[in-house]
């Protein structure tokens, strides 16, 4: 027995290649971009990329919260409307009550975090399915948003609320500061998920709750923290939304609700939980942004954009389902 104990067989290059669930969205994105590049001369321009990046920003950040939740084999149907409520709190506090913008932002973050916490409590304490809890929350919060704002759009005072809408230029493309924030959040989340013990526990809770519990992981606490942190992330998305649009819009968040789930699924994260990568979600958000932008540029009516995104989601879920059946 002279075998060395520390030698790990090196993985071959082929084994190291990411699986098709990771490569798939990347290839899809490149194909879509080539297609739009051919169809519209305005697609590959710096100013057009500015538009796309601005759109990706909000869905991308929402998608981070959504990814954390879906990794635990949950789902959040209320993320977009929670964000809308947060943006109303931020703008109303600053504009109507004259509270300093930074405090108004904190109030908005607190409100969205509270909604995430309530989602988490209902799921962990009363053991309700996440789908039902967040479906209920979707209706409750969207009504609350309309009642609180009296269905009126709120103008934003200049200052901190618009901070992440400020742009800088790289060549022809102007990039909002919010994009940097989004990228930063993705990197932090990636480090959390891959390098920390709680991050690995999150995967374990989604992959096999029973195994996680038996190894002593406090599964219910993990879930409660995930939903609460997701709420906080939706608050950050609310700030970005206000920065981008310059208003508090009570009707915002309707399309972002499903877009965030679409981004996660397109990015290869499994709806069954426990499998997926955070950067896949960024890729998914970019695909949605490019698709919407390209279809608009090529003159496709927005009704068609919606069914095309729908088909994409079903395709992505099918791929997920098939890969699960195989293993």
Residues of the shown chain interacting with another protein in the complex, contacts defined by CB under 8 A: 3, 5-6, 8-9, 11, 195-198, 200-201, 203-204, 207-208, 210-212, 214-217, 274-275, 327
Closest of 103, 21, 24 to residue 277, by C-alpha: 21
Closest of 131, 114, 132, 21 to residue 73, by C-alpha: 131
Judge residue 233's burial from the number of C-beta atoms within 10 Å of its C-beta, 0-12 exposed, 13-18 middle, 19 or more buried. buried
Closest of 287, 276, 277 to residue 309, by C-alpha: 287
Cβ proximity to another protein: between 27 and 211 the closer is 211
Angle at 139 between CA 133 and CA 141, to 5 degrees: 90
Kindly state the tokens that stand for 214: 């038996």
Cβ proximity to another protein: between 268 and 274 the closer is 274
Neighbours of 14 (CB within 10 A): 6
Supply the DSSP symbol for 250.
T
Cβ proximity to another protein: between 12 and 302 the closer is 12
Least separation in angstroms between CB 324 and another protein: 10
Least separation in angstroms between CB 25 and another protein: 19
Cβ proximity to another protein: between 92 and 275 the closer is 275
Cβ proximity to another protein: between 8 and 302 the closer is 8
Least separation in angstroms between CB 195 and another protein: 5
Measured in Å, how far apart are the chain's first and last C-alpha atoms? 35
Least separation in angstroms between CB 68 and another protein: 16
Least separation in angstroms between CB 154 and another protein: 39
Least separation in angstroms between CB 156 and another protein: 35
Distance (Å, whole) CA 151 – CA 124: 33
Cβ proximity to another protein: between 198 and 310 the closer is 198
Check if the beta carbon of residue 271 is closer than 8 Å to that of residue 263: no
Distance (Å, whole) CA 104 – CA 87: 10
Cβ proximity to another protein: between 126 and 197 the closer is 197
Least separation in angstroms between CB 23 and another protein: 18
Check if the beta carbon of residue 208 is closer than 8 Å to that of residue 274: yes
Distance (Å, whole) CA 245 – CA 240: 9
């Amino acid at each position: 027995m002279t075998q060395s104990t520390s030698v790990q067989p090196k993985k071959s290059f082929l084994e190291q290649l990411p699986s098709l669930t990771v490569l798939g969205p990347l290839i899809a994105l490149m194909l879509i971009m080539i297609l739009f590049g051919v169809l519209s001369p305005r697609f590959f321009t710096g100013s057009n990329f500015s538009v796309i990046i601005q759109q990706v920003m909000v869905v991308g950040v929402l998608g981070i919260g959504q990814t954390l939740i879906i990794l635990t084999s949950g789902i959040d149907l209320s993320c977009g409307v929670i964000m809308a409520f947060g943006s109303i709190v931020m703008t109303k506090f600053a504009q109507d009550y004259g509270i300093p913008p930074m405090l108004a932002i904190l109030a908005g973050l607190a409100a969205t975090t509270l909604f995430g916490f309530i989602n988490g409590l209902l799921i962990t304490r009363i053991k309700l399915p996440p789908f039902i809890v967040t479906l209920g929350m979707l209706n409750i919060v969207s009504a609350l948003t309309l009642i609180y704002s009296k269905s009126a759009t709120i103008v934003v005072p200049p200052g901190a609320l618009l901070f992440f809408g400020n742009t800088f230029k790289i060549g022809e493309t102007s990039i909002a500061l919010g994009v940097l924030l989004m990228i930063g959040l993705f990197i932090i989340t990636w480090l959390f998920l891959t390098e920390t013990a709680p991050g690995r526990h999150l995967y374990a809770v989604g992959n096999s709750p029973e195994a996680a519990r038996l190894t002593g992981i406090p599964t219910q606490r993990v879930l409660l923290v995930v939903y609460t942190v997701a709420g906080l992330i939706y608050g950050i998305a609310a700030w970005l939304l206000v920065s981008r649009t310059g208003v508090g819009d009570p009707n915002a968040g309707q399309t972002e609700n499903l877009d965030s789930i679409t981004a996660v699924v397109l990015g290869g994260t499994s709806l069954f939980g426990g499998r997926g990568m955070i950067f896949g979600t960024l890729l998914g958000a970019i695909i949605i942004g490019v698709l919407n932008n390209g279809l608009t540029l090529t003159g496709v009516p927005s009704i068609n954009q919606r069914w095309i995104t729908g088909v994409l989601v079903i395709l992505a879920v099918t791929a997920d389902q098939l890969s699960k059946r195989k293993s």
